[in-house]
Structure 1
Amino acid sequence: MTVIYRDYSKARIGWLPFGLTGWQAGVIVGSVLPVFIALNRGAWASAGLLLLASVAVTLVTVVPVRGRSATGWLVASIAFVTGGVAGWTRFRSRAARGGVENLDQADLPGSLAGVEIHEGPPSGLEGRRVALIQNHAARTWAVTAAIVHPGLGMRDADERSRMAQGLADLIDQAARGELVDEVLFLTRTVPEDGAERDQWTARHRRGPGGQVRAINNDLQQILTGASVRTETFVTVVVPETRLGKAAREAGRGIEARAQVLYGVMAEIEAQLKGGMGCTNITWLTSPELAVACRTGFAPGDRAGIVDALTAAAAGVEVNTQVPWAMAGPSGADVVARHYSHDAWNSISSTLRLPVKGALLGALAPILAPRATGERRSFLVAYPILSQRKAARAAASGEWAADVGSALREKARMRQSTKVRDEVAQVRAREERLSRGSAMTQPYAVCTVTVPKTLRVAEYGRRLDGAIRAAGFAGLRLDLAQDVAFAASVVPMGISLTRRGDG
């Protein structure tokens, strides 16, 4: 027995024939009208030319090209070329130019440029000051936690079902509070660098070398090359419009917002440890978040950070923190099909859910690196609609489904199995909403990062192959690789569903 998730449908069910939306139907009608006017006047040559123009407009409007319409590609291409000519897609850090004045001020590229990090008030027995992530561009606040989960590989169907129900309960609870806008789960898997093992070996080895030491060295080299390290983060995003209203009851300013966010963190943590089965949850402080950000842009820097932490634990005076002015890349360039940052290149693709449903835990093969230095990561995001918007969307979808069914029946058009399934899912969604469930439109983004000495295009094809092997269809996020990288690699609450983040 396996746990299959197939309870999803299109965000909008069209009631017009052939699945057209309202604006598409308007454009097609507007392009066809001149043809009939020319025919009415007897201008046959003009009618023929106008008919060809109408067919071209219809193809450009209706036919999708790799997930977007031709019009969408044209607009995105013009914006991309304009940004490249104006120099907006080229980033050089202040540290690389020798212009750092404040080490605590974040200097990050692209969609992360509007991020400011605040330290919250002390909390818990340890007095940890959790990092509060304020995104001025998107007008949101976020907090990030590093979590440890036992995984699904050795779990039976009942345990997977309980964990899936725990995730559903987490989203429902976040929706009932009417504060959380999005919950993001981010996982990064990198080949094991052996930094901790090297430090442990240096501390515990005694006596001269011999055959036993040689055997241990060989085993360490083989096992390190075959091992991977996994980091998992969860980020909770709250819009300023909601947080500001709730913060007025606790005062004003950052401390009031921190108190509200701490309450949200406690609710999320209870659900993570309960139904989802997480064994450890650590809300990141500002230095810890800076390390996660830096290792996101430069995976090779992790070994040096581990060495510094080990030296500090031994009493050596060494700086173990990464200042926010240097937490980002020294330079970054956006290319149409990949993202270049420091000595690394990255390619990102989004996933399209299969019609037959997705197996719980099916994303695991995507995380397996295939070469030395390669890193895989993916983001699974759950944007949560407010109860008012969810009810309106459900009512609109059900009305469109009913009108579409009536029109097809009246026109004696055959209703396909796919359309019947979508209509049934829309009606089932409205029933669940009326019983208190939340509405979310999940999406996933996968990213592969390799050194610039390797051909990133080859590893992008390998990532697409891993996505297909997992049972999904991948779609390369061309012209938006920088935003996709920031969302799927750096755990700072960047989303693909907000205009400010794009």
Structure 2
Amino acid sequence: MGSVVYDEYAKDRTGYFFGLSGPQLIATVATGIPAVWALSRQQWGLLLGFLVAWALIATLVLVPIAGRTAFGWLGATLRHTAGGIAGWTRFRARATTGQSGELDEADLPGALSAITVHDGPPQGIDQRRVAIIQHHAVRTWAVTAAITHPGLATADATERASQGAGLTTLLNACARTELVDELLFTVRSVPDDGAERDQWMRRHQHPDAPDLARQVNQGLAQLLTRAAVRTETFVTVVVPERRLAREAREYGRGVDGRARALAMVMAEVEEHLRAGLRIRDVEWLTSPQLAAAVRTGFAPGDRASIVDALTAHAVNPNVNPDVPWAMAGPSGADLAIRHYSHDAWNSISATIKLPARGAVIGALAPVLAPTEPEERRCLLVSFPIMAQSTADKQTASAEWAADMGEELRAKAGVKTRAKDRIALARTRSLDTRLATGNALIRPYAVATVTAPKTQRIAEYGRRLDSAIRHAGFAPLRLDLAQDAAFAATATPLGTSLLRATES
């Protein structure tokens, strides 16, 4: 199983002095100066007071609590409070006040508020116009595809290793384009609402069928609906404006020029998805399809009505099956400290910390298994691709910091623990891998659970944490950032936690 375990990762940044970052080192040293001054004056009472103050400040600056230091929590809490007072944490759709304006203009909350969706130029035999997602705040462009993967439940070690190698090939190919900045895989899993099955039964049920047969079919449909779980999978390719603008000059500039440049990237990504990752179907979403995906992201219960409208449209063209972008978002949304409220639903998100021993390919499957009716699980696995020049600089800096930290420990007589030795070895191996043509990736994963407001969302959050631990990982709640986490995991619009602070 060693070939299907992903364990070639290291810390994003290595501290120069006993693992401390620059700001932490400066704060620790600066707050210790008064104690040194009191010692030089032999003022023992004052020295004791300064030492206590220094120990307290060092604890607040250095000791992480649930992913943040005390000062980090203080800053985040102050920003959240200020946002609440200013009304930034509360969203009300313009349609609720009768002022929706243009139906094609997206009206979305929080991190999605600066998004515009364009129709790309016609492509292929069927002249499809792929949706081009522009995020004005962080200056990125993205395209999203719905994909169908057979899964890894029955795959052996050889097949898992092959698909792992295919993912590596895909990421390296994206890096070589010098355009793709991030590749996002989004999976949404929810108990089946039975919409397609109901439509099939209406079309195939004979009016003269015996009552017994009708009752048996209805009972089987209800039983299968309760037992079935429906999964939607999306892949989103994100390209920054600064890179795409240069490439678009060859295609006529503007939105059409950028769309044509993105089409070349889409073709290359699709080829690797089909060949390396065994993806059966890859369908790049049009604007109406993407709007429906966003709407069901905010309100999972609306999917059945959308399916009914699509079925009715096939019979009667006068039926409008599309979700206008002005109504694709929630009618209202509110950010609480520990959860995110949207329409008639609440959501809780948590990041997934990679274990030191590595992660088996496919190990995140238990995270996607709903435990109750109407519960939905979402999983985002993101692969940010670092530019080659940035990767070289960061790798050299991290290696130098690792060497300095090891020497300082040796001079201070501090024994290097096995965990630290493994981290140092991984940091030093990055340079070799970069030199052999591999890309530097900074992957992360976020899981979200969504449940109706009639249920206690804290209980569903506890179950999500339990599922993450059962899969062999450690959860970390994204308190005070639940809205950004939900936008990234539940809506395939190319938003990223790495850019959440920029938006």
Query: With structure 1 as the length reference, what TM-score do the two structures score?
Result: 0.98
Following TM superposition, by how much is the alpha carbon of 1:245 offset from its aligned partner in structure 2, in angstroms?
Answer: 1.2
The separation in 1 between residues aligned to 2:209 and 2:42, in whole angstroms, is 102
| Superposed CA RMSD | 1.1
Quote the residue 1:412 is aligned against: 413
Bigger drift between 405-414 and 268-277 goes to 405-414
Quote the residue 1:53 is aligned against: 53
Following TM superposition, by how much is the alpha carbon of 1:414 offset from its aligned partner in structure 2, in angstroms?
Answer: 1.3
Quote the residue 2:224 is aligned against: 223
Q: 2:478·2:485 contact (CA, 8 Å) conserved in 1? A: yes
The residue identity in structure 2 corresponding to 1:331 is G
Q: Secondary structure at the match of 1:137?
A: coil
Bigger drift between 68-77 and 411-420 goes to 411-420
The residue identity in structure 1 corresponding to 2:286 is T
Quote the residue 1:281 is aligned against: 282
Q: Secondary structure at the match of 1:406?
A: helix
The residue identity in structure 1 corresponding to 2:140 is T
Structure 1 residue 427 and structure 2 residue 441: aligned? no
The separation in 1 between residues aligned to 2:277 and 2:456, in whole angstroms, is 38
Quote the residue 1:64 is aligned against: 64
Query: With structure 2 as the length reference, what TM-score do the two structures score?
Result: 0.98
Following TM superposition, by how much is the alpha carbon of 1:155 offset from its aligned partner in structure 2, in angstroms?
Answer: 0.6
Q: 1:111·1:501 contact (CA, 8 Å) conserved in 2? A: no
Following TM superposition, by how much is the alpha carbon of 1:168 offset from its aligned partner in structure 2, in angstroms?
Answer: 0.5
Quote the residue 1:124 is aligned against: 124
Quote the residue 1:192 is aligned against: 192
Q: Secondary structure at the match of 2:350?
A: strand
The separation in 2 between residues aligned to 1:488 and 1:499, in whole angstroms, is 13
Q: 1:137·1:500 contact (CA, 8 Å) conserved in 2? A: no
The residue identity in structure 1 corresponding to 2:403 is D
- For structure 1, the 5+ residue unaligned runs are none
Following TM superposition, by how much is the alpha carbon of 1:208 offset from its aligned partner in structure 2, in angstroms?
Answer: 4.0
Q: 1:178·1:386 contact (CA, 8 Å) conserved in 2? A: yes
Pair 424,174 (structure 1): closer, same or farther in 2 beyond 3 Å: same
**1:87-127 CA distances to partner (integer Å, 9 max, x unpaired)?**
11100000011101200000000000000010000011111
Which 4+ stretches in 1 moved above 4 angstroms? 499-502
Q: Secondary structure at the match of 1:370?
A: coil
The residue identity in structure 1 corresponding to 2:352 is L
Alignment of 1:29-428 (within 5 A): 29-206=29-206, 207-315=208-316, 317-428=318-429
The residue identity in structure 1 corresponding to 2:297 is G
Bigger drift between 406-415 and 118-127 goes to 406-415
The separation in 1 between residues aligned to 2:268 and 2:169, in whole angstroms, is 11
Bigger drift between 405-414 and 251-260 goes to 405-414
The residue identity in structure 2 corresponding to 1:77 is T
The residue identity in structure 2 corresponding to 1:487 is A
Q: 1:297·1:341 contact (CA, 8 Å) conserved in 2? A: yes
Quote the residue 1:472 is aligned against: 473
Q: Secondary structure at the match of 1:379?
A: strand
Following TM superposition, by how much is the alpha carbon of 1:48 offset from its aligned partner in structure 2, in angstroms?
Answer: 2.0
Bigger drift between 3-12 and 373-382 goes to 3-12
Q: 1:138·1:500 contact (CA, 8 Å) conserved in 2? A: no
The separation in 1 between residues aligned to 2:382 and 2:426, in whole angstroms, is 21
**1:44-103 CA distances to partner (integer Å, 9 max, x unpaired)?**
332222221111110001000101111110000000000001111100000011101200
Aligned residues: 501
**1:438-458 CA distances to partner (integer Å, 9 max, x unpaired)?**
001100000000010100000
Q: Secondary structure at the match of 1:249?
A: helix
The separation in 2 between residues aligned to 1:190 and 1:225, in whole angstroms, is 11
Pair 210,427 (structure 1): closer, same or farther in 2 beyond 3 Å: same
The separation in 2 between residues aligned to 1:316 and 1:392, in whole angstroms, is 58
**1:114-146 CA distances to partner (integer Å, 9 max, x unpaired)?**
000100000111110000000001110000000
**1:146-185 CA distances to partner (integer Å, 9 max, x unpaired)?**
0001111111111111101111111101111110100000
The separation in 1 between residues aligned to 2:169 and 2:20, in whole angstroms, is 35
Quote the residue 1:5 is aligned against: 6
Following TM superposition, by how much is the alpha carbon of 1:212 offset from its aligned partner in structure 2, in angstroms?
Answer: 2.0
Q: Secondary structure at the match of 1:96?
A: helix
The separation in 2 between residues aligned to 1:411 and 1:332, in whole angstroms, is 53
**1:383-407 CA distances to partner (integer Å, 9 max, x unpaired)?**
1000000011111111112222222
The separation in 2 between residues aligned to 1:465 and 1:193, in whole angstroms, is 25
The residue identity in structure 2 corresponding to 1:35 is A
The residue identity in structure 1 corresponding to 2:16 is W
The separation in 2 between residues aligned to 1:501 and 1:43, in whole angstroms, is 48
Q: 1:494·1:501 contact (CA, 8 Å) conserved in 2? A: no
Q: 1:134·1:140 contact (CA, 8 Å) conserved in 2? A: yes
Q: Secondary structure at the match of 1:68?
A: coil
**1:355-391 CA distances to partner (integer Å, 9 max, x unpaired)?**
1111110110111111110000110000100000001
Following TM superposition, by how much is the alpha carbon of 1:313 offset from its aligned partner in structure 2, in angstroms?
Answer: 1.1
The separation in 2 between residues aligned to 1:210 and 1:112, in whole angstroms, is 51
Pair 55,410 (structure 1): closer, same or farther in 2 beyond 3 Å: closer
Q: 1:495·1:501 contact (CA, 8 Å) conserved in 2? A: no
The residue identity in structure 2 corresponding to 1:367 is L
Following TM superposition, by how much is the alpha carbon of 1:499 offset from its aligned partner in structure 2, in angstroms?
Answer: 4.6
Identity percentage over the alignment?
55
The separation in 1 between residues aligned to 2:197 and 2:115, in whole angstroms, is 35
The separation in 1 between residues aligned to 2:16 and 2:109, in whole angstroms, is 42
The separation in 1 between residues aligned to 2:41 and 2:251, in whole angstroms, is 72
The separation in 2 between residues aligned to 1:33 and 1:177, in whole angstroms, is 51
